Structure 1
Amino acid sequence: MELVGLLTNLSLIAIICFIAGFALVVVEMFHPGFGAPGIMGGILLVLGVIMTAKSVLQAFILLLIIMAILGAALAIVLQSAAKGRLNRILILHEAQKKEDGYIGTEDLNYFLGQTGNTVTVLRPAGTADFSGIKLDVVSEGEFISKDTKVKIIKVQGRRIVVKECK
């Protein structure tokens, strides 16, 4: 009975508020960003409820209908994000692979076996220069003075272990 009363209370301005509100919220779902379309859409939906509902029960029913419609729209957006057009827009499918010449900062294995000179005192951590590249290094526990020749003996992620060349 309340639903019939809701439909008779709809004015042209309320219908425009609902349609524009749904459109703006859906636009925000497909193109996430600053949030302006989503905020404006939410405001228009609330205005539509205020203009249409004559009681708290009618407002509650309208909010449930709006939530159901937005839930269905979100399900469509998520489906599109997983397999559709939105997937091609939002998700980067290219990768920078080692085979193509890309080396991440975490992959320092190519320094293994190189020799260089300490720039600072290693007690046991410090800095060493390897062919013009300064790296944070760690000795195996012993003190190594400045300007000493060292060799990289182990690489564990970003941890580079050196040993004094005798």
Structure 2
Amino acid sequence: MLIIIIIHTLGHFSAFQKSSLFLDIANWLTSQEVSLFLTCITFLGFLYQLYSRRINFAGIVGFIALLMIFLGFIIQGSISLVTLSTFIIGVLFIVIELFIVGAILGIIGLLLVTFSLITMGDNLSMMLFNVIVAMILTVIEWVILVKFFKKRISLFDQVVLKDSTSKESGYTSHNDNTYLVGQNATTLTDLRPSGIIVLDNQRIDAVSEGSFIMKDTAVKIIEVEGTRVVVREQNSK
């Protein structure tokens, strides 16, 4: 069914070839300078759209530029059925990617769309040059968006954990033992300077403030940093 629709569409556009006005417009759209400009706008607009949470002006302009390229080659009659089919399948894959977590279909879709751009028309070297220039500019745009504007692809928010892991948000990577500061305990082993102390029948790994402390010595917990518990002998100053 899709192939029949494509063939029917190409048949309608072939009628435009009889009009010199449409041919002039098509020749202008597919010229080296204009096609290069439209290809760059397409790539730059689509990349910026990836970093937006909703459809924006850049994405719309990029889509219009891509549509103008295809219309130019279709009116010229220099676009093959394979190229047009590849483009449509690639776009479908990209659309499906928006609703399915994963990157395989999206990557395949982008590759198919890029391939269809390169194979449009009869001048393969010109279109390949256009795509290479557009990709170079896209890389520059990506660096600017990520490095300077700290942009992130909003689509990845569906699979990337964004919950805050700060202490203020209630997240701790270990047990919070800060309540131990100021309490008295007894060394169960010698602290050389690390060892074990006992507090309310609870064994706790601890280190001395720096000096050697014998076992069965009364100590005071003076600092807790993460899992590190620092003690001082009670009769020391």
> Could you state the TM-score of these two structures normalised by the residue count of structure 1?
0.59
* Cα distance change of structure 1 residues 140 and 96 upon mapping to structure 2, 3 Å threshold: closer
Does structure 1 residue 12 correspond to structure 2 residue 81?
A: yes
Mapped to 2, the partners of 1:118 and 1:31 lie a distance apart of 60
- Gapped regions of structure 2 (runs ≥ 5): 1-30, 36-68, 146-150
RMSD (Å) for aligned C-alpha atoms: 4.6
| Identity level (%) | 29
Residue 178 of structure 2 contacts residue 224 of structure 2 at CA under 8 Å; is this kept in 1? yes
Q: Distance in 2 between matches of 1:116 and 1:132?
A: 10
Of the two, which has the highest radius of gyration?
A: 2
Q: By percentage of residues, which structure has more strand?
A: 1
What corresponds to 1:111 in structure 2? 180
Deviations 1:113-143 (A, max 9, x none): 2233434431112333434554432212221
Give distance in 1, aligned partners of 2:218 and 2:117.
Answer: 77
CA displacement 1:60-105 (0-9 Å, x = unmatched): 2245567889x7xxx8xx6883xxx98688664677876x9x4733
- The answer to whether the Cα contact below 8 Å between 2:192 and 2:212 also exists between their aligned partners in 1 is yes
Distance change (3 Å), C-alpha of 1:61 and 1:112: same
- 2:108 maps to 40
- 1:55 partnered with 2:124: yes
CA shift, 1:45, in A, is 2.9
Q: Distance in 2 between matches of 1:18 and 1:66?
A: 18
- Asked if 1 retains the 8 angstrom alpha-carbon contact of 2:190 and 2:212, the reply is yes
Counterparts of 2:136 and 2:88, CA distance in 1? 14
Cα distance in 1, alignment partners of residues 163 and 171 from structure 2? 18
**Residue segments in structure 1 that go unaligned for 5+ positions in a row:** none
Q: What TM-score do you get using the length of structure 2 for normalisation?
A: 0.45
User: For residues 11 and 60 of structure 1, what CA distance do their matches in structure 2 show?
Assistant: 20
Counterpart position of 2:63: none
Q: Between Structure 1 and Structure 2, which shows a larger proportion of helix residues?
A: 2
> Residues 46-66 of structure 1, C-alpha deviation per residue, up to 9 Å, x if partnerless?
432454364222222245567
| Cα distance change of structure 1 residues 103 and 40 upon mapping to structure 2, 3 Å threshold | closer
Q: Which amino acid aligns with 1:39?
A: I
Give, in whole Å, the separation in 1 of the partners of 2:101 and 2:119: 29
Rounded to whole Å, the distance in 1 between the matches of 2:91 and 2:111 is 10
Give distance in 1, aligned partners of 2:203 and 2:95: 51
CA contact (8 A) 1:49 1:63 kept: no
Tell me which amino acid in the other structure corresponds to 2:110. G
Q: 1:129 to 1:103 in 2, by over 3 A?
A: farther
